Structure 1
Amino acid sequence: MIEHIENPAAVATVTWLPAEKGGRRSGPPTGPVYAATTAFTTGDPIESEPGWPATDPRTMSILLERTGSAPQITESMRVGFIAPELATSFLRHGAEFVVLEGPKPVAHGVVTEVLEIG
């Protein structure tokens, strides 16, 4: 289990979908760092295709680390990526992304701060 993101790329506000809207039945993750897949929304025509975002070839691995002490439906989180070079062209203040568990969206996020990746 990952305990901490060493070089976060950004900070984002993440809102977890309720179970009745397809979100996690157990609610927001409780571990220190949550790993999943993500796709950034860019207005690309692929986003209107059936199965998006799970079918987006730009989907990448994301790491989310809570900045507060307890899980919340909407929370500020540090954001990292397994392969940060895949995310750099999408990272900007206000960029939106969808968090996936398999093909299922479980949260959405908005980048509030881009950090220096070092």
Structure 2
Amino acid sequence: MAVHAFRMQLKPGTIAEYRRRHDAIWPDLAALLRAAGISDYRIFVDPQSHALFACLTVAEPDRRGGLAHAPVMQRWWDHMADLMEVDPAGTPPNRPREWPLEPVFHLP
């Protein structure tokens, strides 16, 4: 198991809607993430900067490679694009911009 952490960015004024949409996460999206070996996925928000901090556990071997090409993932990104910084010209489009975070401390 490996832990991965990254940052994303919400647009101002969208925290409540972002939370509402995640409270109603689509069952087929949750199933896709679990099938890719993802567990204990958490997202935190800094209400002042609107920065999102995500942390998830990934089973080894890492099977996340195909997630970006899954139709349900692309629909979710389209669904969330109005709330956060995305890459509209990316392949696929509307993928959230992510900045990796480096671990600096762990208390097992």
In the superposition, the TM-score normalised over structure 2's length comes to 0.37
Q: Which has the higher strand share?
A: 1
Q: Which has the larger radius of gyration?
A: 2
Q: Which has the higher helix share?
A: 2
In the superposition, the TM-score normalised over structure 1's length comes to 0.34
